[in-house]
Amino acid sequence: MTRFRNLIIPLAVCALAFTVQAAGPARQDPKEAAAKQAPPAKAEYAGSEACAGCHEDISKAFAKNPHFNLEKNKHWEGKACEACHGMGSKHAESASAEDIVNPAKQTPGKTDAICLACHRNQSTQVGRIQGGHSRNAIACTSCHDMHKTGAESSFVRLKRNAGINQLCGSCHTAAAAAFMKPHHHKVPEGAMACTSCHNPHSSFMSRNLRQASTGSEPACVNCHGDKRGPFVFEHAPVRTDGCNTCHEPHGSVNPRMLIRQDISLLCMECHSNLQSPSPGGSLGGVPPAFHNMLAPRFRNCTTCHQKIHGSNAGKGLLR
Ligand code: HEC
Ligand code: HEC
Ligand code: HEC
Ligand code: HEC
Ligand code: HEC
Ligand code: HEC
Ligand code: HEC
Ligand code: HEC
Ligand code: HEC
Ligand code: HEC
């Protein structure tokens, strides 16, 4: 940041402006300036009204944009356009694209910096660094447009499940296709969104999974509270390996979205004296000898072991 300091100290009326400017305009790049053998002329704030003179449609539509509130903010009063586009007086004279910041044409890192100058401290952005999107250069503007209007606008679209699912599905075709399997969460039907389980911005959990409202487990238990426990008699893999040890969270060809067609095979991957590697890597105990695996009665494990997610009644998870 120091290399920008001489250029922008007069302009850094507040920390907010400082960050936005430092992150933004290409014309302030000292290397580029040196290459042109002349210092760049300094732009100043031109004010939103100046922009309106040439960008009539965008300016009119802006009155309905959530960011229009910035016009009433003490730092940005009368100059909200420049909160994202940087100081615009030079551009307002030249009308040249080179003299103004277009966040959509910046590198993803710079675009994010423009937005995060204000949005950084929101709880939904916590953990960004770990998130798969920021690590893979998916900028804010990949998902949020700023000047579309009506039903087209991301401010409207991303308030509805269907709009969110369409956005996510446009890049994650495999994940979207998994919801077409016979047993699935009702995402394609619009009853749930990808964001019911994932935070599009970030998460401290792997796979951008949302945390449950109660703690550090995945958000599954927000809706499936009866599986949360704690139980007096836990089924170890539910607690230690997580729900996806046995379930395919997006969708499955198997009932109950299980990873195996046959429940007994699922159980026997861990509960047999064969050393078969389980999905979670742990091995459970061997069923007692009275389990006659040749008898059909014993093959449907969950008819007896009904409390498969944990029991308060007994170690056998029977009820
Ligand atoms: C004198 C007329 C005029 C004024 C005033 C003006 N613009 Fe522009 N602006 C233009 C024109 C013309 C273009 C298209 C330039 C091009 O495509 O080469 C443009 C393009 C832009 C772009 C897109 C640049 C790009 O790289 O695609 C942005 C962003 C922009 N203006 C923002 C602003 C803002 C913010 C203000 C107010 C501070 C403003 N303009 C004031 C005429 C103006
Ligand atoms: C919250 C940030 C933000 C504010 C405030 C903002 N813009 Fe933009 N603007 C953007 C982004 C991001 C883009 C890139 C295209 C997009 O995502 O919609 C953009 C694109 C533009 C463009 C290029 C349009 C195009 O079709 O390529 C113009 C012109 C423009 N803005 C003018 C304005 C004017 C005028 C104002 C004030 C009335 C304003 N902007 C306020 C973020 C903002
Ligand atoms: C100068 C500060 C500032 C900058 C820069 C800024 N925002 Fe915002 N943004 C706000 C404020 C303040 C609100 C809340 C408006 C309200 O509802 O009062 C907001 C609201 C939003 C919302 C939520 C709107 C809703 O419907 O609830 C989104 C999405 C958003 N901004 C995205 C962006 C993106 C993407 C960028 C970068 C292109 C950006 N913002 C840049 C200040 C800013
Ligand atoms: C992968 C797509 C995606 C990316 C990238 C993305 N967002 Fe979002 N954003 C969404 C979706 C979907 C919603 C609405 C659902 C929700 O609230 O979880 C949203 C909601 C928001 C909101 C309003 C609700 C809230 O969480 O406060 C703000 C503000 C916001 N985004 C800002 C940003 C900023 C700033 C960036 C870049 C640093 C960004 N977003 C990057 C998809 C994205
Ligand atoms: C512009 C394309 C794009 C959009 C839109 C998009 N993503 Fe992504 N997403 C990616 C890329 C690229 C990666 C990183 C590569 C990968 O893991 O597939 C990624 C990674 C992920 C991951 C894995 C993260 C990790 O840390 O392993 C999840 C989960 C995810 N996205 C969910 C979503 C959701 C939910 C939405 C909708 C709100 C969404 N994505 C929208 C491109 C996109
Ligand atoms: C019911 C909760 C839930 C919903 C709804 C959901 N996901 Fe996931 N998603 C998960 C879980 C849990 C994982 C982690 C799976 C793992 O680690 O094996 C995951 C993993 C992912 C991954 C990482 C790669 C992969 O396929 O394992 C991507 C990308 C992803 N989801 C995208 C999406 C998209 C896009 C949507 C909406 C169409 C969506 N998810 C809806 C729970 C969900
Ligand atoms: C937003 C609420 C919500 C979240 C979050 C959620 N689910 Fe569900 N889940 C449901 C609803 C509602 C149903 C039953 C209705 C249906 O068929 O969609 C269901 C059904 C199921 C089923 C049974 C499917 C069947 O065929 O009977 C399983 C297994 C399941 N969810 C596991 C999970 C896992 C694992 C997670 C976390 C990765 C999770 N759920 C997150 C709402 C949720
Ligand atoms: C050890 C394997 C295993 C793990 C781990 C597991 N489940 Fe299950 N789950 C099952 C089996 C087996 C069934 C089918 C039970 C039956 O047939 O009655 C089931 C059924 C379900 C159902 C539908 C029937 C019902 O009881 O509501 C939901 C919802 C569910 N599981 C959610 C979860 C959630 C949420 C987690 C993580 C907290 C989880 N499961 C972890 C094995 C598991
Ligand atoms: C991912 C491996 C895994 C899967 C799959 C699994 N279990 Fe377990 N199970 C365990 C582990 C580990 C224990 C704890 C063993 C211990 O404490 O000695 C356990 C404990 C049990 C117990 C209590 C036994 C005891 O010794 O405390 C029963 C009953 C049980 N499982 C039944 C089932 C049934 C029925 C299924 C199929 C629906 C199943 N398990 C699937 C790993 C698994
Ligand atoms: C007809 C009912 C029934 C069926 C079906 C059944 N079990 Fe059991 N299982 C029991 C009973 C009863 C116990 C003894 C529970 C106790 O001691 O509390 C038991 C005990 C167990 C234990 C050891 C529990 C302990 O306390 O040490 C395991 C592991 C187990 N069963 C796994 C399975 C598996 C895997 C299947 C399916 C292949 C299965 N069971 C099918 C009734 C059944």
pLDDT at residue 267, as a whole number: 93
Report whether residue 195 contacts ligand 4, using a CB cutoff of 6 Å.
yes
Q: Is the CB of 249 under 6 A from ligand 7?
A: yes
Q: Hey, which of 304, 311, 315, 319 would you mutate to test ligand 10's pocket, going by the most ligand atoms within 8 Å of its Cβ? A: 304
Q: Output the CA 309–ligand 8 centroid distance in Å.
A: 6
Per-residue pLDDT tens listing for the chain (319 residues): 334 333 333 333 333 333 444 333 334 444 443 434 444 468 999 999 999 999 999 999 999 999 999 999 999 999 999 999 999 999 999 999 999 999 999 999 999 999 999 998 888 777 777 777 888 889 999 999 999 999 999 999 999 999 999 999 999 999 999 999 999 999 999 999 999 999 999 888 888 899 888 777 889 999 999 998 889 999 999 988 889 999 999 999 999 999 999 999 999 888 886 554 555 444 678 888 888 888 888 888 999 999 999 999 999 999 9
Question: Tokens standing for 51?
Answer: 């922009």
Q: Is the CB of 304 under 6 A from ligand 10?
A: yes
Closest ligand 1 atom to the C-alpha of 85? 35
Gap from CA of 223 to ligand 6 centroid (Å)? 16
Q: What are the backbone angles phi and psi of residue 92, rounded to the nearest 5°?
A: -65, -25
Q: How far is the CA of 169 from the centre of ligand 5 (A)?
A: 9
Distance 114 CA to ligand 2 centre (A): 12
Residue 172 alpha carbon to ligand 8 centre in Å: 26
Among 250, 256, 258, 259, which is best to mutate for testing ligand 6, by the most ligand atoms less than 8 A from CB?
250
Q: List ligand 6's pocket residues with C-beta within 6 A.
A: 165, 168-169, 172, 175-176, 179, 185, 187, 192, 194, 196-198, 207, 209, 244, 249-250
Q: How far apart are the first and last CA of the chain?
A: 63
Residue 172 to residue 188: CA distance in whole angstroms: 14
**The predicted structure's pLDDT at residue 252:** 97
Contacts by 123-131 with C-beta closer than 8 Å and gap 24+? Answer: 124/199, 124/201, 124/202, 125/201, 125/202, 126/202, 126/204, 127/202, 127/203, 127/204, 128/201, 128/202, 129/202, 130/202, 130/203, 130/204, 131/199, 131/201, 131/202, 131/203, 131/208
* Length of the chain counted residue by residue: 319
d(CA 209, ligand 7 centre) in Å: 15
Asked whether 51 and 90 are in contact (CB, 8 A), the reply is no
